[in-house]
Amino acid sequence: MKSNNQFALLGQRRFMPFFITQFLGAFNDNVFKNALIIMIAYQGAQFSDINANTLTNLSAGLFILPFFLVSATAGQWIDRTEKSHAIRLIKLLEIVIMALAAVAFVYGNLYMMIGLLFLMGTQSTFFGPAKYSYIPQHLKANELVGGNALVQSGTFVAILAGTILGGNLIAGDQGRIYVGITLVVIAVIGYLSSLGIPHTPSVDSGLKINWNIFSETGRNIRFIKKNRTVFLSVLGISWFWFLGATYLVQLPGYTREFLAGDEQVVTMLLAFFMIGIGIGSMLCNVLSGQKLEIGLVPFGSIGLTIFGIDLFFAKPEIIAATLMNATEFLKQPYSFRILADISLIGIFGGFYIVPLFALVQQRSDPSHLSRVIAGNNVLNALFMVLSSVMAIVLINADVNTATILLVTAILNAFVAIYIYTLVPEFLMRFMVWILIHTIYHVRKQGYENIPDEGPALLVCNHVSYVDPMIIAGCIRRPVRFVMYYKIYDMPLIHFVFKTARAIPIAGAYEDRELMEKSFIDIAQALKDGDLVCIFPEGSITRNGDINRFKSGIKRALKTTSVPVIPMALNGLWGSAFSRQKRFILWRLGYGFRARINLAIGPAVPPEQATPELMEQQVKALRGDRK
């Protein structure tokens, strides 16, 4: 088994006790929440005269309100405290809360149960920063996506299991008693699992806590906003929780009103939704090649909108007069489409959320990560509160639950367009990801020769117009490409090159001023620690052969001495984006079956990296295949 296989983490003490602890916490929360929501939806009239949908949305709002109120304090406390100790204290608090919840369930005190949701939310508010700041302290950079995928899929499997168990327990004759016993038992087991979490040092033991939640919340948000990509990623995560909260809260009403389904059907739909998110989260690590691939985020948002809209149109025209159980529902002709939509919404939600969490962890200052997560939780909470507010307003305006879900799916499209307009890097990576996973099939060799950090000059042969996109899609670190200015300015793909901060260059006979500026920009990029890629041939090959390397390598290294890494592409000659002169339809067809290889050689010291030597190395890496 490879060391970077995400499942290998489950056999290691640095991850497994933490994973079990967070899994059981999410599981217990959802046994409580779903038992309460199902009880309100189907038995609420026995305990209260308030409309069941209003009570359901009020309950959801009370659970997430502490995330808005207490997150600032929680983030500071977690940054100041050794994390394994903090997690154990949080789990002890969970035992107390669940014991009180057990009493409330046994005696049928609905309002006490709803009030305890606020305390549960408070406990979860403190656990969130501990959870997400713990991960990067114990996982390597190339394990972040896999670790987050496990945590996200585990969380949603826990939500699924808790949802199913809570729904089934509360539906029984002695359901409230069984729910109460289960809550206490799981809380105790969760505490015991936390005892195995390894020591995790404080990142700022001298931090003085600011108890003013308003000023500290504002400071957290301002800190996050300093990093534009992190801030907009946090907004994207918050929007996901707006969507998730809407689906979780509205599905029971949607099932009862439009599908004529009973508690079993609600539980089944929620199960398919959670399984979908778990599958999508786990697939992220495969689809991204065990690296952070933010191109999956737009892919996820597209699916969320398409299948969210289809869910509205999938509902039956004629609603059954009596409630159906799961077996009866599955016999209906529309059931498969409903289940497919729910599952795919979950899968694309997994594609959307995992890269965003990994991006926030990777690009945030480690000493402030808990406070970044706390700020993230504040915005998450705000968006979830807005979800509840929107639902309550629409319900009071006589808008049904199916239409609420439709409105949410349409809003998702507008939010996605807005975010990707502000951060075109997401859309650019999506286009690159689509290119190398649909049109071309790319195999990488020697990736370990790319340094994890620090500057390097990459040199590669030039076969097609999309060489930079293929290289960018294969290398985890951002790469700045030096390319002919006319290719840089080409319609359609100019956006991609500009977003990737490519450096346009011209020949001395065309624009000497631009050429000189290009080498100044190359030197500055290398000084800044970037990877810079040049194509020393100076132009795309017209016959598939590697042309003589020009003096650009020497010019690039003139003022900045960095390692030079040879790379070679083969398999692109004859594709639609090459200069092969065959009939265009033949070249398009070739592109869809092409097997591309990117070979990366060991670094060459700058003093040895002559154009002649680098040409020989690139030719050797390419081999005979063009």
CATH number for the domain harbouring residue 225: 1.20.1250.20
Which of 422, 451, 477 delimits the end of a domain? 422
What mean pLDDT is predicted for residues 581-597? 56
CA distance 223 to 219: 6
Which pLDDT score is estimated for 613?
92
CA distance 358 to 142: 10
pLDDT single digits (tens) 158-174: 877 887 888 788 877 78
pLDDT surpasses 90 at 182: yes
- Number of structural domains (the chain) is 2
Is residue 508 located within the same domain as residue 608?
Answer: yes
Query: Would residue 613 count as lying in a domain?
Result: yes
Which pLDDT score is estimated for 197?
92
Is residue 113 located within the same domain as residue 54?
Answer: yes
3-state DSSP helix/strand/coil % of the chain, to nearest 5: 70, 5, 25
| Contact call for residues 32 and 179 (beta carbons, < 8 A) | yes
| Contact call for residues 95 and 191 (beta carbons, < 8 A) | yes
Is residue 503 located within the same domain as residue 529?
Answer: yes
Query: Would residue 2 count as lying in a domain?
Result: no
In this structure, of 86-90, 194-198, 352-356, the range with the lowest mean pLDDT score is 352-356
Which pLDDT score is estimated for 62?
80
CA distance 9 to 19: 10
User: Residue 615 belongs to what domain range?
Assistant: 436-622
Is residue 141 located within the same domain as residue 255?
Answer: yes
531 beta partners: 456, 479
Residue in the structure block whose two tokens are 């994890």:
452
What percentage of the chain reaches a pLDDT higher than 70? 89
What mean pLDDT is predicted for residues 209-237? 82
What mean pLDDT is predicted for residues 162-191? 87
CA distance 51 to 398: 13
Choose between 491 and 529: higher pLDDT. 529
- Look up residue 425 and give its two tokens: 């890097």
Residue 500 is classified by DSSP as: T
> Could you count the other beta carbons within 10 Å of the beta carbon of residue 80?
17
CA distance 357 to 324: 39
Instruction: Report helix, strand or coil for 453.
Output: coil
CA distance 580 to 427: 29
What mean pLDDT is predicted for residues 175-196? 92
1: pLDDT confidence band, cut at 50, 70 and 90?
very low
In this structure, of 69-83, 163-177, 488-502, the range with the lowest mean pLDDT score is 488-502
pLDDT surpasses 60 at 491: yes
Which pLDDT score is estimated for 587?
46
Rank 191-195, 501-505, 508-512, 526-530 by mean pLDDT and report only the highest: 191-195
H helix or E strand, kind and range, residue 519: helix 508-527
234 beta partners: none
What mean pLDDT is predicted for residues 479-506? 82
311: pLDDT confidence band, cut at 50, 70 and 90?
very high
Which pLDDT score is estimated for 565?
94
The values of phi and psi at residue 481, to 5°, are: -100, 140
Which pLDDT score is estimated for 458?
94
pLDDT surpasses 50 at 3: no
439: pLDDT confidence band, cut at 50, 70 and 90?
low
The most distant pair of C-alpha atoms in the chain lies apart, rounded to whole Å, by 88
Query: Would residue 427 count as lying in a domain?
Result: no
Instruction: Report helix, strand or coil for 296.
Output: helix
pLDDT surpasses 90 at 156: no
457: pLDDT confidence band, cut at 50, 70 and 90?
very high
Choose between 497 and 425: higher pLDDT. 497
Indicate the average pLDDT of the chain: 82
pLDDT surpasses 60 at 593: no
Is residue 400 located within the same domain as residue 448?
Answer: no
Which pLDDT score is estimated for 47?
60
Query: Would residue 7 count as lying in a domain?
Result: no
Which of 422, 450, 478 delimits the end of a domain? 422
What mean pLDDT is predicted for residues 542-547? 86
Using only C-alpha atoms, the chain has a radius of gyration, in whole angstroms, of 27
Which pLDDT score is estimated for 184?
94
50: pLDDT confidence band, cut at 50, 70 and 90?
low
Which of 387, 422, 457 delimits the end of a domain? 422
Alpha-carbon torsion, ordered 495, 498, 499, 501, to 10 deg: 160
Q: List, in order, residues 6 or more apart from 171 with CB less than 8 Å away.
A: 38, 42, 263
| Contact call for residues 510 and 572 (beta carbons, < 8 A) | no
In this structure, of 26-35, 142-151, 541-550, the range with the lowest mean pLDDT score is 142-151
Query: Would residue 343 count as lying in a domain?
Result: yes
In this structure, of 248-252, 268-272, 309-313, 422-426, the range with the lowest mean pLDDT score is 422-426
Query: Would residue 430 count as lying in a domain?
Result: no
pLDDT surpasses 60 at 344: yes
Is residue 290 located within the same domain as residue 392?
Answer: yes
| Contact call for residues 26 and 159 (beta carbons, < 8 A) | yes
pLDDT single digits (tens) 194-218: 999 998 888 777 778 888 878 887 8
Query: Would residue 557 count as lying in a domain?
Result: yes
2: pLDDT confidence band, cut at 50, 70 and 90?
very low
Of 279, 276, 275, 268, the C-alpha closest to 328 is: 268
Residue 436 is classified by DSSP as: I
pLDDT surpasses 90 at 53: no
Is residue 363 located within the same domain as residue 450?
Answer: no
> Could you count the other beta carbons within 10 Å of the beta carbon of residue 39?
26
Classify the phi-psi angles of 571: left when phi > 0, otherwise alpha if psi is within -120 to 50, otherwise beta: left
Which pLDDT score is estimated for 586?
44
pLDDT surpasses 70 at 477: yes
Residue in the structure block whose two tokens are 């070979």:
599
Is residue 447 located within the same domain as residue 418?
Answer: no
Query: Would residue 429 count as lying in a domain?
Result: no
User: Tell me, what CATH number does 497's domain have?
Assistant: 3.40.1130.10
pLDDT surpasses 70 at 153: yes
Rank 106-110, 189-193, 498-502 by mean pLDDT and report only the highest: 189-193
154: pLDDT confidence band, cut at 50, 70 and 90?
confident
| Contact call for residues 174 and 288 (beta carbons, < 8 A) | no
Which pLDDT score is estimated for 268?
87
| Contact call for residues 408 and 267 (beta carbons, < 8 A) | no
Choose between 151 and 461: higher pLDDT. 461
Cα atoms found within 13 Å of the Cα of residue 92, Cβ hemisphere only? 7
* Axis-axis angle for helices 144-170, 110-138 (nearest 10): 160
Is residue 412 located within the same domain as residue 478?
Answer: no
Choose between 480 and 578: higher pLDDT. 480
Q: Which amino acid is at 500?
A: A
Which pLDDT score is estimated for 279?
87
Residue 583 is classified by DSSP as: -
Which pLDDT score is estimated for 383?
87
Q: List, in order, residues 6 or more apart from 140 with CB less than 8 Å away.
A: none
Which pLDDT score is estimated for 492?
67
CA distance 126 to 74: 5
Is residue 416 located within the same domain as residue 495?
Answer: no
- Look up residue 531 and give its two tokens: 């990877």
Is residue 70 located within the same domain as residue 45?
Answer: yes
> Could you count the other beta carbons within 10 Å of the beta carbon of residue 497?
21
For 15-42, give the DSSP string.
THHHHHHHHHHHHHHHHHHHHHHHHHHH
Is residue 352 located within the same domain as residue 458?
Answer: no
pTM above 0.75, yes or no: no
